[in-house]
Amino acid sequence: MVLLTEPLAPSTVEALGEEVEVRHCDGTDRAALLGALPAAAAVIVRGSTRIDAEALAAAPLLRVVARAGISLAGVDVRAATQQGVMVVNAPAANVVSAAELAIGLLLAAARHISPAHARLRAGQWERAPFTGIELYGKTVGVLGLGRVGVLVAQRLAAFGMRVVAHDPFVQAGRAAQLGVRLLPLEELMATADVVSVHLPRTPETEAMIGAAELALARPHLVLVNVARGGIVDETALYEALRSGRVAAAGLDVYETEPCTDSPLLGLDNVVATPHLGATTHEAQEKAGLAAARSVRQALAGDLVPDAVNVQGGPIAEEVRPGIGLTERLGRVFTALAGGAVQQLDVEVRGEITEHDVTVLELAALKGAFADVVGEPVSYVNAPLLAAERGTAVRLLTESESPDHRNLVTLRGTLPDGRRVSVAGTLVGLAQRERLVEVNGFDVDLEPTDHLAFLEYEDRPGKVGAIGVLLGEAGVNIAGMQVARDQRGGRALVAMSVDSAVPADVLDRIAEAIGAGDVSGVDLTSGAP
């Protein structure tokens, strides 16, 4: 049962699917909430419901809490983690709305739209006091090149503005791709005509823009904050606005909310809104749909990219395409190993190591155990299954990748000392999956649903024998790679086939060519 504790768009319920039982309760009614939670496998909340330790204790069947929004206020993530409950949010749902509001506040502040509107409504036709500035040709400083910051930078570049930014966690190469020049904070504050804040509120960003930083600003500076209150010191900003050190400000967030009595609200050169960044029909619908999608994934045991307490945080867009590839590599690895391994190393090389790739370790484990245990394997229980079976797991990362832009390799040691390895990468604009190494042999093969691998001594006629026996069995070869360590040495045939190779056919092939290691892989939804 999925419990909805606050009003959500009808599309949210539709996205959960007809097979899911949905119940509603008033999350602000504590007794009603606690009474409804015992039967809930999932709960979807917005901003008014408290899912704390008491609520979690009342929900023994609960597997996931989904917040239809970016904030996790009201959800005790630590308590949920201790109870084994996944917590997810919708971090991308409001990014467009927030970026557009930032642009709107910037234009309103730069052109004095709010006070001019108020004066006209009061019956006064005045123009001279509201002379504004053009954005064209000016410099905008974007603090934080996350999703919203990037959207703002792109939109203001279209206004003909020069874009500079400050973000210690963004590489210069990535900024260059965006057409943005990175600057130290002090230089940005002294250079920019407009500053737009798009940072999370953390101990490092608390009061990041204070009196010292504002003292560096040009006297015509326009400052916009739609990110989080507390990043800009409101007392220092008030003094800078009152004295003319800062020309205008557009604010959507405040140190303490709700906020109705800040002295900033009394200044004509401040345009203020009551935290409206996510308050659009589109953002609310996206948040509800994202929450519903995450709930379905969590209940199915699949990866939930927006989980905040499973793989360590949100997954970078650059990492996500590798998740499916790594899970497939895990299944191929297990087929090659033919049993449990004592040690599994998940090695990730290339550009994606600039990001958190912990999720690829989970994907490898999920794939490795998917076909060898009776219970459903998920990204949540895969590490527990490994620990129960005595498999030690290591995640290794290396930024250098000589042969491929990014490369994922799984290596393991069996109890008998035999080593098994398989590697894959993504190629082209379509990010197509490719197997590029199997047990030390270089290959180039699409990891289709049906694969077969045979190791044998390199002798003439053996590849032909393989084709004959598969033809007799009615198995069509879709692709074949032959690799060897040296002439007359060990060789590997790696094949993709249109249907699974029956075990008895593999046995006949192994006998015919004297193969030492033979593995068939079935990556369809059933067992191998």
Which residues are tagged catalytic?
228, 257, 275
399 is written with which tokens? 């930024």
- The upper half-sphere exposure of residue 425, i.e. CA atoms within 13 Å in the direction of its Cβ, equals 19
Return the closest-CA partner of residue 445 out of 485, 489, 497, 490. Answer: 497
Whole-angstrom Cα Rg for the chain: 29
- Residue 141's nearest CA partner among 119, 117, 166, 105 is 166
From 342, 373, 348, select the one nearest 360 (Cα to Cα): 348
Q: Which helix (H) or strand (E) holds 482?
A: strand 477-484
CB atoms within 10 A of CB 77: 16
Strand order in the sheet with 139-143: 181-182, 162-166, 139-143, 194-197, 222-225, 248-251, 270-272
- For the chain, how far is it from start to end, CA to CA, in angstroms? 32
Tell me how far CA of residue 501 lies from CA of 7, 175, 433, 435, 472, in angstroms: 52, 49, 22, 19, 12
Q: Which of 107, 153, 152, 103 is nearest to 134 (CA)?
A: 107
On whether the CB atoms of residues 265 and 242 are closer than 8 A, the answer is no
C-beta of residue 136 within 8 angstroms of C-beta of residue 192: no
How many residues make up the chain in this entry? 528
Per DSSP, the chain holds a count of helices (H) and strands (E) of 17, 22
> Three-class SS of residue 258?
coil
Alpha carbons 452 and 460: distance in angstroms, whole number: 20
Q: Cα separations (Å) of 316 from 147, 247, 360, 397?
A: 11, 37, 12, 16
Instruction: Count Cβ atoms below 10 Å from residue 515 Cβ, excluding itself.
Output: 22
